[in-house]
Structure 1
Amino acid sequence: MASLSLRPQGNPFKLIGLALLAVTIAGCVPRPSGPATPPPPEIRPTTPEGPSRLPPDETRNRVAVLVPLSGPNAALGQSLLNAANLALFDTGGQRIRITAYDTSHGAAAAANDALADGSGLILGPLLAEDVRVVAPIAARETVPVIAFSNDVSVAGSGVYLMGITPGQSIDRVVAFARSRGVQRFGALVPQGVYGDRARRALTQAVEGAGGSLTGIETYDRSAAGLRQAAARLNARGRSDAVLIADGAQVAVQLAPSIRAVSPQPQILGTELWATETNLGAATGLRGAWFAAPTDGNFAAFRQRYRARYNAVPFRLSTLGYDAVLLASRIAADWPIGRRFPERALHDAGGFAGVDGAFRFGRDGVAERALEVREVSAGGANVVSPAPRGFN
Structure 2
Amino acid sequence: MAVLVPLSGPDAAVGRALGQAARLAMFDTGSKAFELTVYDTGEAGAVAAANRALGAGNDLILGPLRADDVRAVAPLTQRARVPVIAFSNDADIAASGVYVLGFTPSQAVARVVGQAAATGSRRFAAVVPASTYGQRSARAMSVAVQRAGGQVVGVETYDRPENARAAAQRLASRGYDAVLLADSGRPVALAAQGVRPGARILGTELWASANLGSVPRLRGAWYAAPTQGQWGQFVGRYKARYSGQTPPRIASLGYDAVLLGVRAARGWQPGRRFPLGAIDDREGFAGVDGIFRFGPDNVAERAFEVRQVTAGGSSLVSPAPTRF
After TM superposition, list the pairs within 5 Å mapping 1:184-223 onto structure 2: 184-223=123-162
Provide the residue aligned with 1:254 in structure 2.
191
Residues 68 and 77 of structure 1 are in contact (CA less than 8 Å); yes or no, is this contact kept in structure 2?
yes
Counterpart Cα distance in 1 of 2:67 and 2:283: 27
Counterpart Cα distance in 2 of 1:384 and 1:281: 22
Specify which of 22, 26, 29 is matched with residue 84 of structure 1: 22
- Deviation of 1:334 (Å): 0.7
1:60-95 C-alpha deviation (Å, 9 max, x unpaired): xxx000000011111110100110000001111210
Provide the residue aligned with 2:250 in structure 1.
316
Counterpart Cα distance in 1 of 2:78 and 2:280: 18
Counterpart Cα distance in 2 of 1:222 and 1:211: 29
Aligned to 2:315, the other structure's residue is in SS state strand
Q: What is the letter of the counterpart of residue 90 of structure 2?
A: D
Provide the residue aligned with 2:182 in structure 1.
245
- Please tell me whether residue 230 in structure 1 is matched to residue 133 in structure 2: no
Specify which of 129, 133, 138 is matched with residue 68 of structure 2: 129
Residues 176 and 199 of structure 2 are in contact (CA less than 8 Å); yes or no, is this contact kept in structure 1?
yes
Counterpart Cα distance in 2 of 1:249 and 1:273: 11
Provide the residue aligned with 1:364 in structure 2.
298
Consecutive unaligned residues in structure 2, runs of 5 or more: none
Counterpart Cα distance in 2 of 1:170 and 1:304: 31
- Please tell me whether residue 270 in structure 1 is matched to residue 216 in structure 2: no
- Please tell me whether residue 110 in structure 1 is matched to residue 49 in structure 2: yes
Aligned to 1:358, the other structure's residue is in SS state strand
- Deviation of 1:229 (Å): 1.4
Q: TM-score, normalised by structure 1?
A: 0.81
- Deviation of 1:222 (Å): 4.6
1:321-344 C-alpha deviation (Å, 9 max, x unpaired): 000000001101011221001011
Greater CA radius of gyration, 1 or 2? 1
1:160-179 C-alpha deviation (Å, 9 max, x unpaired): 01100100000000110011
Specify which of 261, 266, 291 is matched with residue 332 of structure 1: 266
Provide the residue aligned with 1:71 in structure 2.
9
Number of residues of Structure 1 aligned to a counterpart in Structure 2: 322
Aligned to 1:119, the other structure's residue is in SS state coil
Provide the residue aligned with 2:316 in structure 1.
382
Residues 350 and 359 of structure 1 are in contact (CA less than 8 Å); yes or no, is this contact kept in structure 2?
yes
After TM superposition, list the pairs within 5 Å mapping 1:33-182 onto structure 2: 63-104=1-42, 105-182=44-121
Aligned to 1:258, the other structure's residue is in SS state coil
Give the percent of matched residue pairs that are identical in Structure 1 and Structure 2: 57
Consecutive unaligned residues in structure 1, runs of 5 or more: 1-62
Provide the residue aligned with 1:35 in structure 2.
none
Rate the CA distance shift 1:222–1:252 in 2: closer, same or farther, 3 A.
Answer: closer
Counterpart Cα distance in 2 of 1:281 and 1:88: 38
Rate the CA distance shift 1:87–1:351 in 2: closer, same or farther, 3 A.
Answer: same
Q: TM-score, normalised by structure 2?
A: 0.97
Counterpart Cα distance in 2 of 1:222 and 1:96: 46
Structure richer in helix, relative to its length: 2
1:328-377 C-alpha deviation (Å, 9 max, x unpaired): 01101011221001011111111000100000011110000000000001
- Deviation of 1:246 (Å): 0.6
Residues 279 and 380 of structure 1 are in contact (CA less than 8 Å); yes or no, is this contact kept in structure 2?
no
Q: CA RMSD in A?
A: 1.0
Residues 150 and 163 of structure 1 are in contact (CA less than 8 Å); yes or no, is this contact kept in structure 2?
yes
Residues 125 and 149 of structure 1 are in contact (CA less than 8 Å); yes or no, is this contact kept in structure 2?
yes
Q: Displaced runs of 4+ in structure 1, greater than 4 A?
A: none
Q: What is the letter of the counterpart of residue 246 of structure 1?
A: D
Aligned to 2:103, the other structure's residue is in SS state coil
